[in-house]
Structure 1
Amino acid sequence: MTTVLISGASVAGPALAWFLRRDGHRVTVVERAPELRDAGYAVDFRGAALDVLAEMEILDEVRSHRTRMAGTTLLAEDGSVTGELPASAFGGDLEVPKRALTRILHRVTDAEFLFGDTITALVQHDGRVTASFEHAPTRDFDLVVGADGVRSAVRRIAFPGVDPLEHLGMSGAGFTTDNHFGLDRRGLLQPGAGRAIFALCAGDPARMTVSLSFATSSAELDRRDRAVQEAAVRAAFADHPWPATRRLLSEMTAADDFYFASACQVHLDSWSTGRVVLLGDAGYCAAPTSGMGTSQALIGASTLARCLAEADGDHTAAFDRYEKEMRPYVTANQTLGREAVSSFGG
């Protein structure tokens, strides 16, 4: 029985854990957050990702949480209506709140979960990897998988000195607030020169999710504290002509679920080194603007598990095949991510 350590309990990690447990492996999932994360917008699934959900026997349950978004209204900077986008523009073939998806994946995944902890060191040997943790005792595993997002701790440890992040020129803040726009499973998008406002109500009719995005030259703000990030958002929208913008900026400060991130992609020559392999955003993030992050995570998890099963214990062959199969799909999605950024801000 192979022992596998997976870092990251969002989507890619638990999905891979499910497949590996089905195939008879012993799996441990470590997650820095103290519990399952509730943050995050709705996530959508496209194409073959639905087949992965079906294989996991959770497609019907996931569908029961669909947002049923009706579309997005396009606004000029003065608030006047300029057009309409169909629900498929953002929602793919199926869209659900991310909170619902992560809870379903956690419930069906029969693995050991270590919350509130993170990997601090990895030492590779001929037949194992010794993993050190911030809190848990040091342990040996046959394989280690980094599924811990665009700023992956596993990638930083296993690929020292490598900076694979490509900043796409856009950053933004997200938060939820009262639904004072009266949205009913709809969105509002106001693209402008170098900035954009997006608001949507996908579930609770009393609440809406807001994103304030703007042009940036680097992802440096991601590493700064909230006060600095908020100041940057305010500066970007200080002269915005829409009267509602001032209220949104005030609500941003009051929000207890404020989130800030930059649109970045991850580019690596190889997604594995020895017995360590990367999965999802940690290895090949296509940027949120691609709309393919969740689908890529699920398809990557299914592909990696299948390659491991077919390689009959040869992890090197499995990792090589996994990368060969996934590269064309990832390259196409990263192209989508770059194209979306170039058009998003007007």
Structure 2
Amino acid sequence: MVKILVSGAGIAGLACALDLGTRGHDVTVVEYARHLRVKGTPIDVRGDAIEIVDKMGLLAKIREQRVRMSELNQFVDADGEPVASIPMAEVSDSEDDIEIVREDLVHSLADALPDTATIRFGDSIEALTDDGDGVDVEFRSGRTERYDLVLGADGQHSAVRRLAFGPERDHLRHLGVYIALADLPDEAGPDGVTLHNVPGRMVGIARFNGARFKGTALAMFTFRSEWLDFDHRDLDAQKKILVDAFAGHTSWKIPQLLDAARADPELFFDSASQIHMPSWHRGRVALVGDAGYCAAFLSGRGTSLALTGAWFLAEELDRCGTDYTAAFERYEARQRPYVTAAQERVYQGRETQTPLTWEAIDARNERLRAASAS
């Protein structure tokens, strides 16, 4: 049995805990938030990740929770009249893709954790000391513990990556877009995504019925911008950036959606950025998911990368025994092609979502109408 610490209780962290815990390892997941973080639009399980969730024993449950929001998307003009929709061929790899509400997938993973895996909320890693025989960890809570391995599955702004591999700026590649998501209460309607553009900006409403909470709706925002220097835990600063980005724009429901963003105590705001690293491991520390190879939401493949990465790592740790370096190297060799393919897909998504001029918006609409017709 290997004693493993996983930082982050998102999809990558929970998948690591499930895959490693069911193999008999002693796994602790430490999560900065005080609850599972589930805010987000529906996500996709694609390609070989479908086979992975089958091996995890979750495929039947995930298929039961499947939604089809991507089939119900439309762009609207300032008056709310439809002007174009996104063909499924542009957002899906195949008809086998499974679209699922993020909350449902997160809870499915958490509910399946074995007794050998536990989650500790409201704490985070402050310092790591890898002496070659183990890793001593200091936590924000003041406690200290020693582990055989530490896995960073703590997202784009990974603390484990910063502590073990250096500052974020050394690995981050900004794609020129920011995203925000806010709860939209009392927004009734059928499942689907309604989107509206002004130059360099997009707002939308996503309505979906997850397995756990019915009638959920989100306000969605994306906008073009060069890199902005802000504290990703400073909510007031994030709200100001968002409101300023849409200042002066009042078409469709932009003011109403901005009000929802101002009122949301758990607004999600972040850049569309990628993480590029020559290696995802150092000593007894390794990275999984967005922490090591974020492809950005524009790729639509972050969830699948988290699932395949966690599974490959767990398999290789089993195969290599106590040779952790060999296990990490084999994990990287298997996962790297998936990461490269996903990271190369982002630019088409950016041009579809946030054209920079009215002329580019009209051209995008015309292209989508032609593609839908054919």
TM-score interval w.r.t. the shorter chain? Answer: over 0.9
- 1:242 partnered with 2:243: no
Could you report, residue by residue, the CA deviation over 1:15-46 in whole angstroms, capped at 9, with x for unpaired residues?
A: 11222122222111111111222322222111
Match in the other structure for 2:141: 135
Match in the other structure for 1:125: 131
Q: Does structure 1 conserve the Cα–Cα contact (< 8 Å) formed by 2:232 and 2:238?
A: no
Equivalent residue letter for 2:178: S
Q: Does structure 1 conserve the Cα–Cα contact (< 8 Å) formed by 2:232 and 2:270?
A: no
- 1:97 partnered with 2:106: no
Match in the other structure for 1:84: 85
Q: Which runs of 5+ in 2 are unaligned?
A: 356-374
Could you report, residue by residue, the CA deviation over 1:279-302 in whole angstroms, capped at 9, with x for unpaired residues?
A: 000000000111001110000001
Could you report, residue by residue, the CA deviation over 1:193-252 in whole angstroms, capped at 9, with x for unpaired residues?
A: 211112211116754211111111114245373333333323322333524222222222
Of 273, 285, 288, the residue aligned with 1:279 is 288
Q: Does structure 2 conserve the Cα–Cα contact (< 8 Å) formed by 1:43 and 1:91?
A: no
Counterparts of 1:20-169 in structure 2, within 5 Å, are: 20-69=20-69, 70-77=71-78, 79-86=80-87, 90=91, 93-110=97-114, 111-135=117-141, 137-161=143-167, 163-169=170-176
In structure 1, what is the Cα distance between the partners aligned to 2:230 and 2:140?
26
In structure 1, what is the Cα distance between the partners aligned to 2:331 and 2:215?
44
CA shift, 1:262, in A, is 1.0
In structure 1, what is the Cα distance between the partners aligned to 2:63 and 2:142?
37
Q: Does structure 1 conserve the Cα–Cα contact (< 8 Å) formed by 2:223 and 2:245?
A: yes
Counterparts of 1:217-296 in structure 2, within 5 Å, are: 217-221=226-230, 223=232, 225-240=234-249, 242-296=251-305
- 1:18 partnered with 2:18: yes
Give the TM-score normalised by the residue count of structure 2: 0.86
Q: Does structure 2 conserve the Cα–Cα contact (< 8 Å) formed by 1:32 and 1:115?
A: yes
Q: Does structure 1 conserve the Cα–Cα contact (< 8 Å) formed by 2:78 and 2:252?
A: no
Question: Larger deviation: 157-166 or 10-19?
Answer: 157-166
Q: Secondary structure at the match of 1:23?
A: coil
CA shift, 1:105, in A, is 1.0
Could you report, residue by residue, the CA deviation over 1:103-135 in whole angstroms, capped at 9, with x for unpaired residues?
A: 121121120221111111111112111111112
In structure 2, what is the Cα distance between the partners aligned to 1:91 and 1:253?
33
Using a 3 Å threshold, how does the CA distance of structure 1 residues 88 and 12 change in structure 2: closer, same or farther?
farther
In structure 2, what is the Cα distance between the partners aligned to 1:17 and 1:295?
16
CA shift, 1:329, in A, is 1.2
Match in the other structure for 2:371: none
Equivalent residue letter for 2:302: G
Match in the other structure for 2:368: none
Q: Secondary structure at the match of 1:198?
A: strand
Q: Does structure 1 conserve the Cα–Cα contact (< 8 Å) formed by 2:178 and 2:270?
A: yes
Q: Does structure 1 conserve the Cα–Cα contact (< 8 Å) formed by 2:7 and 2:125?
A: yes
Using a 3 Å threshold, how does the CA distance of structure 1 residues 88 and 56 change in structure 2: closer, same or farther?
farther
CA shift, 1:48, in A, is 1.1
- 1:174 partnered with 2:181: yes
- 1:190 partnered with 2:196: yes
Could you report, residue by residue, the CA deviation over 1:137-189 in whole angstroms, capped at 9, with x for unpaired residues?
A: 31111111000100001011111246211111111221121465x64111112
Using a 3 Å threshold, how does the CA distance of structure 1 residues 207 and 13 change in structure 2: closer, same or farther?
closer
Q: Does structure 1 conserve the Cα–Cα contact (< 8 Å) formed by 2:180 and 2:269?
A: yes
In structure 2, what is the Cα distance between the partners aligned to 1:30 and 1:36?
11
Q: Secondary structure at the match of 2:33?
A: coil
In structure 1, what is the Cα distance between the partners aligned to 2:167 and 2:261?
36
The CA RMSD over aligned residues, in Å, is 2.1
Q: Does structure 2 conserve the Cα–Cα contact (< 8 Å) formed by 1:191 and 1:197?
A: yes
Equivalent residue letter for 1:307: E
Equivalent residue letter for 2:130: Q
Q: Does structure 2 conserve the Cα–Cα contact (< 8 Å) formed by 1:71 and 1:87?
A: no
Question: Larger deviation: 144-153 or 79-88?
Answer: 79-88
Question: Larger deviation: 262-271 or 198-207?
Answer: 198-207
Match in the other structure for 2:316: 307
Could you report, residue by residue, the CA deviation over 1:68-102 in whole angstroms, capped at 9, with x for unpaired residues?
A: 32420122355432112245755771122211111
Using a 3 Å threshold, how does the CA distance of structure 1 residues 273 and 17 change in structure 2: closer, same or farther?
same
Give the TM-score normalised by the residue count of structure 1: 0.92
In structure 2, what is the Cα distance between the partners aligned to 1:28 and 1:114?
7
